[in-house]
Amino acid sequence: MPTEAEWEFACRAGTTTAYSVGESLTKSDANIDGLSTKEVGSYKPNAFGLYDMHGNVFEWCEDWYADYPKESVIDPKGPATGERRALRGGAFGGVRRSEASSFDFEQARSFERASNPPTNRSNMFRVGFRLARTVDIKAAVAPAIPNHKPAEIIPAVGNLLLAPFTEAKAKEVQKSVAKSLQKEVDEKADLGKGINLEIVLIPAGKFMMGSPASEAGRNDDEKQHEVTLTKPFFMGKYEVTQEQWEAVMGNNPSLSVKGSKLPVTDVSWDDCQEFIKKLNAKTNGSYRLPSEAEWEYACRAGTTTAYSFGDNLTKNEANVKDSSAKLVGSYKPNAFGLYDMHGNVCEWCEDWKADYLEGSVTDPKGPGKGGRRVLRGGSFWWEGSRRSFSRSDFPSASRNFDFGFRLARTVDIKAAVVPAVPKSDPAAMMSATGNLLVAPFNEAKAKEVQKSVAKSLQKEVEEKADLGKGINLEMVLIPAGKFKMGPPNNSHEVTLTKPFYMGKYEVTQEQWEAVMGKNPSYHKGAKLPVETVSWEDCQEFIKKLNENANGGYRLPTEAEWEYACRAGTTTAYSFGDEITAADVNYDFGKLVVVGSYKPNTFGLYDMHGNVLEWCEDWWTIDYPAKAIIDPIGPATGTFRVTRGGTAWTGKGNAFSAYRGKNRPTGNYYSDGFRLARTP
């Protein structure tokens, strides 16, 4: 059956209205008020050629019913468990709100959801289903990208700028992306009477949003996290001016200082939306406010410093210490060619204010609702709020003498010139970059692909983070891959589509102490693995580590752990179907220094024995019965997964597929962990 997301996507068929035929639905469009079902296909199909997506019968979906996640999601499948399954599409007969009321057809909207226990058949004469079928893409003719970096096949078209980058690199990629899109880097819209609206093309990119703990003036809500923006967009070269506002709206709301080339002020977020609505009606459309992530990426323009010009800002670089706003463009632009990103007026963003999500995110848009909208950039008056990250927030109806805005515009990528290429294996296009390792594979193949993927990512196979006092944290790049997960009698195919870094060793006591300032271990030793740590303790360690390092550290998923452990093997252990005390610390009765035994094919030490290693996943007794992609385990549970065996429990608990479990607050002397990191 289709997932709930597949169902709605197929139903909408490109529309954003309440129904796939518009904002209203009539009896001539669907079977919504009859007394029984009608023959399938009795009404016209939607844009995909699907019939009866509204009405006739409710349709079962695969998903357990639950609240939606707040962040953007990819290929969602709903929670792993639940009590009721989702139903979609509405049915004949409508819904009568009361005996005196007429039928209400809202239950047939593209979005409308219902639910029922999966075994329930009573009073279910209006419930049916529609099939879905998985496409076999193995034989697909997929466009291969010969000798192209992964950045060049980003869905956004063109290169993906990886911060930090120089002004020269920014200009080079802006030109390249503009050429692909058949557009100009700088574009203008004529508002009449010689008044133009100028916008600048900003390529897709990846950067660290937020500020490091060491940055002066930092607030508690500035948690650093990796953000990827997969689509290019246009950004206003200048803040919207008073003459531009007047050309669209017919008035000038700025109260304190008037001037045609001054930024418009005294406008609320709501006022900006009204301006954008009229501007889009007047021009070719697609103007909007930038998301908060787009704003900061455009402001930083490849920098990692407090300001786009460095760690300090003077009156020569921005209007930051004055009594009023100045003409837009009075100071030099940043590397993208944008003016006044620091100071002059605070700029409204699209997002509701909220705490940031944990970990790496893609195309974030903030929460779906809230009480206050975000402003960025600081102003001529607002001391200490002009850093690249600084954020403030106010209700959407608020107006102030230093509130203005800058426009963004969505890029139409339909006409983009995408590199034409010959046939290739879809595996070569994995978002993982580079080759997909298909188990079984040998050590030579593993090393070859590790080097190839590292080159594509412009990284090293082995990377180090300095924790101070000569203590390093070493990580090894693990390519994307496909393997059989679990023991032979309960295995299933797993594909990991993205490369990741895995700790070369288990986290040591000296590393823990360097980050946390104390050592909880029962068996002491600087180079021994840290133990007597709970899953929750590990999360606290990771949180502090990400604040002090470049971020992206986390626990591995259970699938990542086993794939990294097996390293291409299909045997019980990564060294074969048998191991000895010369291979692994599985029955020694005490811990040994990390790295005391030979590594596996990927270059990882102590994946068998020494200490159990926490994984990110909640524990569940059964694996899925089918092939899965990038599994992350159930959404909730009682126990967290541990892997790898210990120095006390023998070889029977040290094989590659062995799974342990513990409550996330449990902290036994045999429990440690190994880090993963998203590149």
pTM given for the model: 0.44
Domain final residue, candidates 410, 425, 456: 410
**Both 261 and 298 in a single domain?**
yes
Question: Cβ distance 287 to 280 under 8 Å?
Answer: yes
Residue type, 184: E
- Taking a C-beta distance cutoff of 8 angstroms, is the pair 117, 83 a contact? yes
My answer on whether 173 and 252 are in the same domain is yes
Tell me the pLDDT band of 78, cut-offs 50, 70 and 90.
confident
Range of the structural domain that residue 5 is part of: 1-133
Q: Residue 392's pLDDT is what?
A: 85
Q: What is the pLDDT of residue 412?
A: 77
**640 has pLDDT over 80:** yes
- Comparing 24 with 45, which gets the higher pLDDT? 45
152 band by pLDDT with thresholds 50, 70 and 90? very low
Kindly state whether residue 148 falls inside one of the protein's structural domains.
no
**160 pLDDT band (50/70/90 cuts)?**
confident
Average pLDDT over residues 282-300: 92
Q: Which residues contact 235 (CB under 8 A, 6 or more apart)?
A: 199, 200, 202, 290, 294, 298, 336, 338, 406, 407, 408, 409
Cα–Cα distance measured from residue 509 to residue 512, given in angstroms and rounded to the nearest whole number: 5
Q: Rounded to 5 degrees, what are φ and ψ at 282? A: -85, -30
What is the C-alpha separation between 254 and 30, in angstroms, rounded? 51
Q: Rounded to an integer, what distance in angstroms lies between the CA atom of residue 160 and that of residue 362?
A: 13
Q: Which residues contact 281 (CB under 8 A, 6 or more apart)?
A: none
* 68 domain residue, yes or no: yes
Q: What is the pLDDT of residue 123?
A: 61
Predicted pLDDT of residue 416: 52
Whether residue 36 is found in the same domain as residue 159: no
- Do 398 and 497 fall within a single domain? no
428 part of a folded domain: no
Same domain for 174 and 95? no
Domain-embedded: residue 426? no
Nearest-angstrom CA–CA distance, 652 and 613: 16
Name which residue leads in pLDDT, 571 or 32.
571
Asked if residue 139 is part of any domain, the answer here is: no
- Specify whether 381 is located in the same domain as 462: no
Q: What is the pLDDT of residues 563-577, one digit of tens each?
A: 999 999 999 999 999
Shared domain check, 387 and 483: no
The per-residue pLDDT for 656 is 92
Which residues lie below 8 Å from residue 34, measured CB to CB, with a gap of 6+? Answer: 92, 93
Question: Both 365 and 446 in a single domain?
Answer: no
- For residues 403 and 450, state if they share a domain: no
Mean per-residue pLDDT over the chain, rounded: 86
pLDDT at 299 over 60: yes
* 486, 505, 678 from 525: Cα distances, Å: 33, 15, 29
Domain assignment present for 641: yes
Percentage helix, strand, coil for the chain under 3-state DSSP, each rounded to 5: 15, 20, 60
DSSP element (H, E) containing 88: strand 85-88
Q: What are phi and psi of 617, to 5 degrees?
A: -70, 150
79 & 37 share domain: yes
End-to-end Cα spacing for the chain? 35
Structural domain count, the chain? 3
In the prediction, which pLDDT does 136 show?
65
Domain of 283, CATH number, reads: 3.90.1580.10
Asked whether residue 394 falls in the same domain as residue 441, the answer is no
For residue 394, the tally of other CB atoms under 10 A from its CB is 19
Task: Find tokens 């009859």 and name the residue.
Answer: 34
Residue 145 lies in a domain: no
- Residue 639 counted as domain residue: yes
Three-state SS at 279: helix
Residues 166 and 309 in one domain: yes
Strand-pair partners of 153: 158
